[in-house]
Amino acid sequence: MTFLSFNHHKDLPLDKDPGTRFLPWLIAFMVYLAALAVIATSIMQSISARWEMGVSDTLTVQIPPQKGMQQDQKQIEASLEILRAHPAVVLAAPVGKARVLELLEPWLGDAASLSDMPLPHLIDVTVRQDVPMDGQALIEQLNKVAPGATLDDHRVWLDRLIQMSRTLEWGAYLVLGLIATVSIGTVFFVTKTGLAIHHDVIEVLHLIGAQDSYIARQFAEHALYMGFRGGLLGLAVAGPTFGGFAYLYHQVDRALLPQIDITALQWVAVLSLPFLSALMGYLTARSAVLNSLKKMI
């Protein structure tokens, strides 16, 4: 990794340290994981938002199929009448058979082979959030005109999904925190090792009048370059991984998972990881060296 070299006078031969060889690779790995965690967090946020927006104010009524089409139609119309009369209902519309077959396709296969199967009739119901609704009373009313009708309140499972999504989101934040901690710890110990290895040179620099900041700057700049190189490498590897995930996601997207929108800010967060890892390296190394040098007279 010889790219990104800067023309500086380096009094300390830090490039040849054993720690220097593995540090960029380790940071690359950490940035790779961090990029995945940032993207995972973004996906979780996006999914939560979509679910919340799209499903939180909807219900589905299922009416089991009867012996004849006419009877089914009667039950559907009677149910629609009850639903539309309810003050909490904004919209009640039957779901066409083609759409039902489309929804079942991922689980039961080709729609053509399902066309003869008796399928329940579905009614999509949009409700007002601000008007209370007694689900039990409504289902009792519906059962009078359509025996066996059920009401799926999406809010129950939606709450669970959102809860799970938020837990995963916090898990991703925790992973990011751990990655940052491990990275800081690694840079700290590599710097401490460097201080021990170059103790004699540092002592000479100190005795000829170098300020602590002069010595610390050399370690800090070195860590900055290592952090940036590692960050770029990690990001370069993360790119194809995102591509692979996106491809796999789109294979199941339409049927099961909502569309994911990663905002510009989230992309900026991912692209800033090399800069953040460089900054983290710089500040950690500088702080470690300054603290150590304080012990010298």
Residues contributing to the site for another protein (CB under 8 A) = 9, 11, 13, 16, 200-201, 203-211, 214, 294, 297
Tell me the two tokens of residue 133.
Answer: 């609704």
For another protein, which is the closer residue by CB, 208 or 256? Answer: 208
Instruction: Decide whether 121 or 198 has the Cβ nearer to another protein.
Output: 198
CB of 190 to another protein, least distance (A): 19
Q: What are phi and psi of 92, to 5 degrees?
A: -135, 120
**Smallest separation (angstroms) from another protein to the CB of 183:** 28
CB of 294 to another protein, least distance (A): 8
By beta-carbon proximity to another protein, the closer residue of 77 and 203 is 203
User: Minimum distance from CB of 19 to another protein (Å)?
Assistant: 17
Distance between CA 252 and CA 112 in Å, rounded?
Answer: 20
Structure tokens at 191: 């710097």
Confirm if 125 and 60 have CB atoms less than 8 A apart. Answer: yes
Report residue 116 as tokens. 């003869």
Q: Between residues 215 and 235, which has the closer beta carbon with respect to another protein?
A: 215
CB contact at 8 A, 117 and 123 = no
Q: Of 137 and 204, which has the nearer Cβ to another protein?
A: 204
* Residue-wise burial string across 50-78, b where 16 or more C-beta atoms lie within 10 A, e elsewhere: bbeeebebbbbbbbeebeeeeebeebbeb
Q: How far is the CB of 24 from another protein (least distance, A)?
A: 21
